[in-house]
Every structure is written in C-alpha cells, then in structure tokens.
Structure 1
Amino acid sequence: MKRCPTGHATHPQWRMAAALVLAQLRAQMALPGYAHAPTLGLLYITDHYASEAQTLLDFLSAELPEVTDWSGTVGIGVCASNAQYFDEPALAVMLLDIPCDQYRVFSGVAPLPRVGEGRFVAHTALVHADGNTPDVTGLVAEMAERTTSGYVFGGLAASRGASVQFAVGGSGNLAGHGAAGGVFLGGLSGVAWGPGVHWLSRITQGCQPVGPVQRITAAQDNVVLALDGEPALDVLLRTLDVSLEGDPQIAVERVRATLAGLMDAGEEPGTCARTGHFGPDTRVRQILGLDGARHGVALAESIEPGMWLAFCQCRAAAAHADLTRICAEVREELSPDVLEPFLLGSTAPEQALAVPPQRHITGAIYVSCSTRGGSHWGGPGAELRAVRHALGDVPLVGFFAAGEIAGHHVYGYTGVLTVFTSDDPTI
C-alpha cells in the first residue's frame, strides 16, 4: 500500500473547494511513493455542504473516474494533517490503492455479511452512522461482530442539517449500490477491511477523573441511585466539594462542568485507579439532571447495577497528554529498536536482522468529538498539530463527530486515531 494522496480546502462555494482538493490530489498522485491509481476514496464534508452532498460526490466521481468506491460522512468540522476546519465550509479527501479483494464498501442497501456468510472476510471496518438511528449503539456492537477482530472504528455524523453518508461500491458493480446514488440518510455505512490491510487503532480520552472509581450498587433506567451503597447525589456533591444548601448557583455550575465515566460490570477499573486516566474501557456520558427525591444522578445512558462509575471533567491539558501518549504508542509499535540486541550485549549481529522491518504510516483517519474542536485545545488546529508533531507529516483525514466509534462501543469526548501501515521500503 502506497502513501495516500490527500486534499483539503475551505471555500464558501463547494466547487471551488473541490477544485483545490483535486489539484492537491493530482499533484501527489504524480509523486514517487504515492498511490498512482487509487480506487477507494474517503470523503468528509462539513455540514455547510450537506445540502449539496450528491452533486459534490457526482463531481468528484466524474473528475476521478479511476476511483470507483467512495465512503464518508458529514461533521461539524473536518480535519487533515496539521489542519482543521471547524464550523466553516470545507471538505477533506483521501485516496487509497488497496487491492479490491481487501476492502468492501457497505451500506443499508448493501450490508456487510456476517462472518462465514460470504466470500469476503472482514477483519475490521470503518463505520459511519447516524446518531438518530434507533439503538445505534447496539448496531455498532453488532457490526463489530461481523469482523474477525471484533473491532470497528469511526464516528457518528454531526450536522445541523442532513446527516448524510457516502457509500459507493464498485461504481454500481456490487449488488445494491448501483441505484442508490451514493448518498444515504440514517443507518450505518462504511468500509470493511480484509486481513491483508495492516492497521493500528487507538482511542484517546478527553476527560480526567475527579473522583474515585466506584461500583454502582443501585440504579433504575438511566438514574444512578447508589455508589458503593451511598446515595449517588451525595457522592457527586462531596466529590465536587459543593452543597445544595449553600450557594446553589455554584453547585449547578460545577455539576454542569462534570461528566460521568462508565465501565461495564465485567471490566476491571484497575488501569484508571493506577494511572488516574481513563482507558478504552470507559465511556463518558453527560449528567442530565439530579434526582433530589431519590438522591440520584441521571445520565445519558441506561444504567445497570454492577457497572463502575467515576465522575470526571474535560481538561485540555489532560486531553493533550493522552493524545500524545497514544501517538507515542503507535510510533513505538511501528518502529522496533533494531539496536536492542547490541545494547543487551549480543555478539550476534544476525539477531538484528531477525527484527521485523520498520513499518511506515501510509495514511491515517482521525475522528474527534465535536466538543474537542474549536477553542477547546487553546487555538484553532491545535489538536491536529499535536498529532502531526507526534506522528510526523503523514497523510491524514477525518471529521468532528457527534460520537466516536472504537472497538464495539460508541464514545463521547474522545478521539479515535487509526493508521494504515506498510513495510514497503520505497515509501
């Protein structure tokens, strides 16, 4: 897999932005090490272009006839390497040259088959979803079961207009796609990847615990009633060091700035307890209200006794540190230390030759929560600059979502970074 050509631009008129993107793509396709004849395109647009989604897709398809497959969606913002366009008209495109038998575009009219029911075997999948779809979290979990890894990544469309998704497979040659036009509303769509596509994926949390991890011992529907046997509201107020009997305005403001990190009953919260940071087993949810009569706390998710909870807050410094951490993990996994045998005193140089060759990042997809965009990081584009500083100048596209997908969960307030890799030394 060669380096992925990417293009991104902003302009009040989508045709002008698309023309700028096409110029970037064509220039990179002519460079050594980049894909010369890609067949798959990832397209992300901001909601300013949502009403022109079909026309925009038709235009790009006509200008890039070699690209027969498309996938993507809409966000409040889109991003590229070292750039982000938040709440402004923009689009970002990445082209990939993956062999046609190693990926498949899917949608509601051409769903991804279950494992063992078709010739194509999905190892993982990039998933775009409409958050207004009933039981979208259950559908994402079911989609993960259709992959051999049990892991999918992506995000929920974010739009103040139509929550459009793009899905074109084989220029109509795959059953179901031909008459659909390529633009969908509702449900799930995306790209499934075969075992021949090499990738790494990490999730970065944007929140940090402000209290201990405690077991939910009583709950009803979406209301947490007790934590470790103590009324949940009392625990929350003590954690925030506020009282409803004092200045209620101060208490309300602190509660509004607080969220809840949830872990399933079967999880072990040891990582959070040791490091003070949430891991990928934690889903952050809003506090919707306080139940004074029952001393409970209402959350934006159904709650079951036995789950774990830690109150938390969004902090830019913690989010930056955690993003840097996951990028460092990716770099470390891709670049084995070939000098280690010599540092350990080995006298057999051939041992170094046995170390797997260094892998290169050929493309990356970054999906971030809409709440992390804008000024949350201290300035426009700061989040993407942090990614570039850690990973280098790698091809990257993505969008700011209404919810982030990783593993078999839908998250909030997080970022999901996925990189495609190759050991081709010519890249």
Structure 2
Amino acid sequence: MSDASFIHAHAAHDDWREALAQCRTQLDAQLAARQAAPGGGAALTLGWCYLSDYYAPSAEDILAALREHWPGVAWVGTAGVGVCAGGVEYIDEPAMVLMAASLPPTAFRLFSGLQPLPPASSAFVPHTALVHAEGSTPDVQDLLHELSERTATGYLFGGLSSARNRTLHIADGVFSGGLSGVLFDAGIGLISRVTQGCKPIGPVRIVTRAAHNLLFELDGEPALDCVLKDLGLGHDVPEETLSSVLSATLVGLSTGGDDAPSVPGRFGVETLVRHVLGVDMQHGVLALADVVEDGMRLAFCTRNPAAARADLVRVATEIRAEIESGVAGHALGALYISCSGRGGPHFGAPGAELEIVREALGDLPLAGFFAGGEIARDRLYGYTGVLTVFTGR
C-alpha cells in the first residue's frame, strides 16, 4: 500500500443522489490526482459507505449507484444517526461518508449472511476483522466472541447500526440482522484503540452476589446501599427521585484486576459501561443491562465530557506516537466509530470530537459513524470510541 492508497469524501443534502454526486466528484478528483503522480496508482478494491439514517430507506439504490460508478470495488458499511469524516460530523441530518482504498484483493475477504467465513483449511488466514451488526441480533455478543476466535489475533473493530428507521449493514449487499464486514490478513497493518467516555463516581467494588442481570450485593453489602452511598443519597430518598437519578447513572463492569485504570478516576480499556435498568427498593436489588457475575469488578459512573475529551486525546496521541516511531509504518487512512451518545454537544461543539482526532493524526482520510454500540476485541462496548488507523510501509 502506498501513502495515497486511501481517498475519502463526504456530503450532506436532502437528496441522496445529490450527496452521492458531490462525493463522486471529490473522490474522482483525488483519484485523478493520484493517478497523475509518478507511478500512477493501483485500482480501488475496497470501499466504505456510512449513511445517516435519513438515507437508510434508499440503501439498495445507493449501493447500486456505487457499484455502477466504481465497478470492481467491494463496498461495506452501515447506517447511523450520524456519520463522520476528518474533522467533520453530521448528526441528525441527511449525509454520507465514503472512503476507498487500493488494498491487494488477496488481502481481504468480505463476509455476511450470503458470504460465509472461509474454512480453516482455506489459504486465506483472517488476522483481524471490521464488523458491522445490529443490536437486535440475538446473542450478538456470542457471535462476536465466535468471530474473534476465527481470527489469528482475536481483534475485531466496528459497531452496531444506530438508525432510527431502518437498521442495516452493507457487505456487497444490504442486510438486516446478523453480522457482516471485512476480514483482513496479516499483510494489512493497523493500529486500534478504545477510548472511554465515562467517569467513576465511586470506588471499584467486587460483585459478591448476582444472578443474570440482577445485582444483589457489592463487597458483601446490599447493592442499593452502595449506590446510595456513591450518589450521596439517604435511604429516605423518594423512589421517583431515585429512579430519576439512576436513569443518568451507569455501571462500569470488568472481569478482573487486569483492567486497573492507568490514571485515577478513569476506566481501563476493558471496562464495559452498561445502563441501570431499575431498582427494587424493598429488597435492595438493582437490574442492569447486561449479565453480571460474582467476582466482577463494578463502579458506578456517569457520562463525563471532560473525561471523554482527555481519553480521546490520549489514545489519538498514542497512535500518533506509534506511527512516528517508525515501527508501524505510515498512516494511510482511518475509521472512527463513536457512540451515538458522545457526538455533538457532548464534546462542547459540533465536530469537536473529530477535530481532536484530526489534530493528532492530521488530514488523514477518515470515515466513520455514530453507533448503537462499539465493537473492539471480542466485546460490545457503550459510550466509547474505537479509532483504527491503517498503516503501510
């Protein structure tokens, strides 16, 4: 891969045809400039298409138009309540972001309900995988774990569609339910990091009694007593008041001590943030939006813009430092998948989140979307961002 092997475009318009025409003009100009340079340029082989949910009903027509204009390019993507490009985000408006690359055709494989994973006997060995999915898919976490085990590194990156009208994902076809995406072999270099967006409001505790998604005890004390203490509330708080407060309270779950944060008051990268669904004040029980098991570590937390900004700066700087060290090669293009609860005002201004990424990585071709859940390694995260940079020598 050369430094010019990625190109990208973005546009917003009420009519998807006009937005696509604007993107096509941008991409064709970049492609022409690349081909005019010494050595020309290899043909585009893989493309990313992220659509705001305004365009979701027209996904099949959009894919057909992409194929017609760029024959030979394999397209993947999904729909979200927002999409993003380098330094720009489009939230709650009709927009699309396209990116394309000249990857060796033998270095990647698309997968979907119509294109199964290659068998273990295949000459193609999956190293990592980009995954798009739907949150309504039954056992999506189990499917991610299974897919992770089918790759050499176990590393997945991606996100869930967040469309309000039609959740979908694209892999040379438009799909509902299940998983789709791209498998990459070891020849495709990439650096990926997870950035957290919440801040603990209490100490890390050990789950001492739980069943399914019900939390009974933390550190041997009733779960309700612990959350009241961390929130600074008394036992006489009205149930309606407590329910309102808990609606803005989250829990950070991790499976062991290896996820200790590197900075006090900040979660480690393995922590999974989940909602508190309800409370039984009579029995002191909390209901969580995930299975919780004895021995897990848990801290109550809230969304925190300052913590989110600081952590995004950290991961983007880490990626830049790794690239500048020369070990990973040059940065070619990037994907950024952020939680739909992080974009826009959460970072202080429109585009502020993507501007942090651009300040660290420069004007790198970048595409992404705001997801209903973020995928990294073999896990489904919430209120995080997943930044992945493709590299080449």
Give the TM-score category using the shorter length: over 0.9
* Deviates further, 121-130 or 157-166: 157-166
Q: 2:78 aligns with which of 66, 73, 77?
A: 73
Instruction: Give 1:165's aligned amino acid.
Output: H
Q: 1:276 aligns with which of 262, 265, 285?
A: 265
1:250 CA drift (Å): 4.9
Q: Are 2:101 and 1:107 equivalent residues in the alignment?
A: no
1:275 CA drift (Å): 3.0
Identity %: 48
1:113 CA drift (Å): 2.9
The 1:131/1:35 distance shift into structure 2, 3 A limit, reads farther
| 8 Å CA contact retained: 1:243, 1:251 | no
Q: Are 2:60 and 1:54 equivalent residues in the alignment?
A: yes
The 1:273/1:362 distance shift into structure 2, 3 A limit, reads closer
Once residues 408 and 44 of structure 1 are traced to their aligned partners in structure 2, the CA distance between those partners, rounded to angstroms, is 22
1:165 CA drift (Å): 1.2
3-state SS of the aligned residue for 1:20?
helix
Once residues 259 and 323 of structure 1 are traced to their aligned partners in structure 2, the CA distance between those partners, rounded to angstroms, is 20
Q: Are 2:389 and 1:419 equivalent residues in the alignment?
A: yes
3-state SS of the aligned residue for 2:233?
coil
Aligned residue in 2 for 1:351: none
Aligned residue in 2 for 1:345: none
1:255 CA drift (Å): 2.1
Aligned residue in 2 for 1:31: 33
The 1:273/1:167 distance shift into structure 2, 3 A limit, reads closer
TM-score with structure 2 setting the length: 0.95
1:254 CA drift (Å): 2.9
- Larger C-alpha radius of gyration, 1 or 2? 1
Q: 2:155 aligns with which of 151, 158, 175?
A: 151
Aligned residue in 1 for 2:346: 376
Once residues 31 and 123 of structure 1 are traced to their aligned partners in structure 2, the CA distance between those partners, rounded to angstroms, is 32
The 1:157/1:9 distance shift into structure 2, 3 A limit, reads same
Q: 1:217 aligns with which of 208, 213, 216?
A: 208
Q: Are 2:290 and 1:301 equivalent residues in the alignment?
A: yes
Aligned residue in 2 for 1:255: 246
Unaligned runs of 5+ in 1: 169-181, 337-355
Once residues 362 and 244 of structure 2 are traced to their aligned partners in structure 1, the CA distance between those partners, rounded to angstroms, is 40
Map 1:15-414 → 2, pairs under 5 A: 15-32=17-34, 37-67=43-73, 69-113=74-118, 116-168=120-172, 182-246=173-237, 250-264=241-255, 267-269=256-258, 271-272=260-261, 275-336=264-325, 356=326, 359-414=329-384
* Deviates further, 405-414 or 35-44: 35-44
Instruction: Give 2:196's aligned amino acid.
Output: Q
Give the number of aligned pairs: 387
1:375 CA drift (Å): 1.4
| 8 Å CA contact retained: 2:207, 2:295 | yes
Deviation string for 1:37-70 (max 9, x for gaps)?
Answer: 2111111101101110000110111111242x11
Deviation string for 1:312-354 (max 9, x for gaps)?
Answer: 1101010000000000110111112xxxxxxxxxxxxxxxxxx
Once residues 112 and 60 of structure 2 are traced to their aligned partners in structure 1, the CA distance between those partners, rounded to angstroms, is 16
Instruction: Give 1:329's aligned amino acid.
Output: E
Once residues 187 and 66 of structure 1 are traced to their aligned partners in structure 2, the CA distance between those partners, rounded to angstroms, is 25
Root-mean-square deviation (Å): 1.6
* Deviates further, 291-300 or 150-159: 291-300
3-state SS of the aligned residue for 2:345?
coil
Once residues 104 and 270 of structure 1 are traced to their aligned partners in structure 2, the CA distance between those partners, rounded to angstroms, is 33
* Deviates further, 26-35 or 193-202: 26-35
Deviation string for 1:70-118 (max 9, x for gaps)?
Answer: 111111110000100111111111101110110001101112135x332
3-state SS of the aligned residue for 1:277?
coil
Q: Are 2:16 and 1:14 equivalent residues in the alignment?
A: yes
Unaligned runs of 5+ in 2: none
| 8 Å CA contact retained: 2:328, 2:391 | no
| 8 Å CA contact retained: 1:269, 1:308 | no
The 1:194/1:358 distance shift into structure 2, 3 A limit, reads closer
| 8 Å CA contact retained: 2:262, 2:268 | no
3-state SS of the aligned residue for 1:275?
coil
1:244 CA drift (Å): 4.4
Once residues 357 and 227 of structure 1 are traced to their aligned partners in structure 2, the CA distance between those partners, rounded to angstroms, is 44
Once residues 19 and 52 of structure 2 are traced to their aligned partners in structure 1, the CA distance between those partners, rounded to angstroms, is 12
Once residues 42 and 380 of structure 1 are traced to their aligned partners in structure 2, the CA distance between those partners, rounded to angstroms, is 23
The 1:307/1:357 distance shift into structure 2, 3 A limit, reads closer
3-state SS of the aligned residue for 2:293?
coil
| 8 Å CA contact retained: 1:83, 1:381 | yes
